[in-house]
Structure 1
């Protein structure tokens, strides 16, 4: 059982965890203003966003946690595009908020495919290491 790196619970990441670095709730004037400068549908902007707010955010995770997180992303990409779009929809009852307009992203699949591509390069050694282990022993 792989435990959460910071909590005393099982590690069970969801696709929405990839968007946690973009959460501007109660930070609209700071992080929100910074993210407003980017267009998540633009490949060059998306590249910067992924490195600054996803790769950097998860850099402290163990290779096992990265492997599980990467697997979740792969599973989502194998699924329906509508599921990928759902992650960007605003939940008015949530204490989470994505930047203005992100819920209308033209190509959410392209966004997550770009994340997958970058992480597969950046985490290549860690993903390989984890793939050589028996995950049931974690």
Structure 2
């Protein structure tokens, strides 16, 4: 079983993990202000957001962890669009908060498709390496 890279628990990534770099909870004045300069619906801004807050954030993962995380994203993109929008909704009982207005994103699927597209290029070698192994041995 593939274990979490930093904890002694099984690795079970979820779609919301892709948004972790955008969590401004208790950082509204710093990260929140920085993210307010971007429009996640603008293609150019989205590319910058993905590279700076997703690609960079996951750069320390092993090729196996990247493969599993990428698989979760692919499965989500093949699922219901409403599930993708749900990830952006704020849970008032959570210690997590996305930037203002992100919960009203018009096309959350395109946001995640863009992540998928960029990661498939950036992680091409890691994804290939992992695909050559027997996942059941992880």
TM superposition score normalised by structure 2: 1.00
Aligned residues between the structures: 138
Secondary structure at the aligned position of 2:116 is classed as: helix
Q: Deviations over 1:49-76 (max 9, x none)?
A: 0000000000000000000000000000
Matched with 1:122 is 122
Cα RMSD for the two superposed structures: 0.2
The separation in 1 between residues aligned to 2:89 and 2:45, in whole angstroms, is 21
Please, which runs of 5 or more residues in structure 1 have no aligned partner?
none
Matched with 1:16 is 16
Runs of 4+ aligned residues of structure 1 deviating over 4 Å after TM superposition are none
Shift of 1:122: 0.1
Shift of 1:90: 0.2
Shift of 1:21: 0.1
Matched with 1:43 is 43
Matched with 2:93 is 93
Q: Deviations over 1:103-123 (max 9, x none)?
A: 000110000000000000000
Q: For 1:39-118, what aligned pairs fall within 5 Å after superposition?
A: 39-118=39-118
Q: Deviations over 1:86-134 (max 9, x none)?
A: 0000000000000000000011000000000000000000000000000
